[in-house]
Structure 1
């Protein structure tokens, strides 16, 4: 069912930065003007047992980025916790660690890269640092009292911007699956790429190119425990190869479409349904009001946004109504608001929130 275009946020709940121009591209501050302020001096030499990591600070506060609420919450399955409040992963051909520092800022370290300047810019892009989380949340707090209460406990939960091919494969693996098995599957596929290094006992790889993924057989994937997802991955890689300009270019081009166009394009691939398509759109294609509707998000919506839908079945029509309810409430960055509400429902976060939230 075609979803209507996302409405603009209500004027009274829209941060001043966003009211000036509701064009998504104009809401993003230019990378070239911010990177010099956020990404500071060059990284230090590789650490050893006698020369530990010397972190290069990002000019960013905990309220803009808190790593434990960003990495282990289901957006990506390729980053590993390699130390206390430290996470490591590959961004393209760069192997990078991030750490929450004692002053509540964030530091980074480049373990491996062939181009330090490019690595820092790619890190900036990956962290979606062209978007001010504080500015977005000001608007969300005005239009939603519950969001304002949760934000005080869960600040710094950002939405990442991953490479579309990498994000696509991860979320095909996530279908009807748990985090442990998803991570194992994604690790298996990652090993088809270039080895970048070992940190904290984990091996890290550049995500494989499409040509490498096309050569992986369904039999190989099934033997590795992918089950029925094996045929979807093989079928999707073949489908991407046949796309105009090549699969990677075609995926990138979905950023230029409206949300429904991007969802329709992704849904044409084997194994990609509306929920998986919405995850890919939100976490890699700049579709900031995409809402991945599953049972958990539907339950959040029926408790706080559309209580009249409680007790209904989660049909495509109901999914559309749930998604529209989030967009009507939070506007063009509704996916970022939904991400925080989803994180608040995770058992690890419920345990630290006051009981009054759940009464």
Structure 2
């Protein structure tokens, strides 16, 4: 299928910006930045052929400011850039419902219906168009073809949700009612190392604070550039993380998670063949074996293991169970368990209930139902679908690896 001609945005990129800061500030409330993000923009999406999109201000990484051609140091896109269409319908990919709802914590909203983030060593902006998604590559340490392949893999676009969702709608009345209002939610295929450390930060935490922790951790990687006032970094390697002490993370506000991060770095570095290779090898295992292997790492419990398995290890039937998912399960699938205390045994029962109802892509169905329960999304649902029960607190007074 021939792609339509992309549209050139009206403004230009800055060619001589200052380099981004190497390290981000601590996680104290005084120094943190408050960002308001809406799940659905009230502005009309740009038309691919007739409307020009506004480009965010871009600053190149150090040493790359005036390089517009491929080089040994990387590929920096020309200031006269275009939105390149991915040819993916909105029903297959909604950017705000996929990138800002707890699967990953590394994307920033840099304009109306526009989001910027890092995929491996590539810095992208994505734009929700009329019935497509466009991308712009700000910077890559390789080339544009490798970067596009990495983006398609990250967005998991080889898996179509059309038939999958049709099966979910047939299997569950609640899903059928929600489907028209949450179309485009999909499960990402993230880098396992990056995903693992993001979800270590998620233990007994909330999305806003997790994002600040992940931003700080990412700042120990190589800078890729600045877009819309945000600095972006390649996620640090194990070797780079090994130079970050537990004390330094505690001083930055990570609390008890600092010990788990430092311990996991050490454990992965000791793996035969390397920690990155060990994590990637878990994609070839059955779900139970993969999650059991993850649980051998410091601070990793069943919930975090299930999140990492689902969002980075191709374990599409993995169902992370926390208090939110527990409420969903007891409200719609297992009402006889309402009021019971959530235990490891009951977590397993909830997972089995999801798999029994939704099959091999149960993790995708759980993700849709989870996102539908988020306060920002609930406010956009029709009143008959809005759950008025009080949302459970993510925080816990027990400083332990809950999962």
Give your verdict on TM over 0.5. yes
Structure 2 CA distance for aligned equivalents of residues 111 and 246 of structure 1: 31
Q: 1:240 to 1:295 in 2, by over 3 A?
A: same
Shift of 1:164: 0.4
Q: Describe the superposition over 1:304-339 as per-residue Cα deviations: whole angstroms up to 9, x where unpaired.
A: 111111111110000000000000000000000000
1:80-119 to structure 2, matched below 5 A, reads 80-101=108-129, 103-113=130-140, 114-119=142-147
Structure 2 CA distance for aligned equivalents of residues 335 and 232 of structure 1: 26
Shift of 1:168: 0.4
CA contact (8 A) 1:198 1:204 kept: yes
1:1-359 to structure 2, matched below 5 A, reads 47-48=12-13, 52=55, 54-101=82-129, 103-113=130-140, 114-358=142-386
Shift of 1:260: 0.4
Shift of 1:43: 10
Structure 2 CA distance for aligned equivalents of residues 109 and 295 of structure 1: 38
Which has the greater radius of gyration? Answer: 2
Structure 2 CA distance for aligned equivalents of residues 187 and 121 of structure 1: 25
Q: 1:241 to 1:41 in 2, by over 3 A?
A: farther
Please give the secondary structure, in 1, of the residue aligned with 2:99: coil
Unpaired runs of 5+ in structure 2?
Answer: 15-52, 56-80, 388-403
Give the TM-score normalised by structure 2.
0.77
CA RMSD across the alignment: 2.0
Unpaired runs of 5+ in structure 1?
Answer: 1-36
Structure with greater contact order relative to length (CA < 8 Å, sep ≥ 6): 1
Please give the secondary structure, in 2, of the residue aligned with 1:169: helix
CA contact (8 A) 2:6 2:85 kept: no
Shift of 1:40: 8.4
Structure 1 CA distance for aligned equivalents of residues 120 and 5 of structure 2: 21
Q: Describe the superposition over 1:55-107 as per-residue Cα deviations: whole angstroms up to 9, x where unpaired.
A: 11111110000111101100101111111111111101100011101x22110
Give the TM-score normalised by structure 1.
0.86
Q: 1:149 to 1:251 in 2, by over 3 A?
A: same
Shift of 1:48: 2.4
> How many residue pairs align between the two structures?
322
Of stretches 145-154 and 41-50 in structure 1, the one that deviates more from structure 2 is 41-50
Please give the secondary structure, in 2, of the residue aligned with 1:263: helix
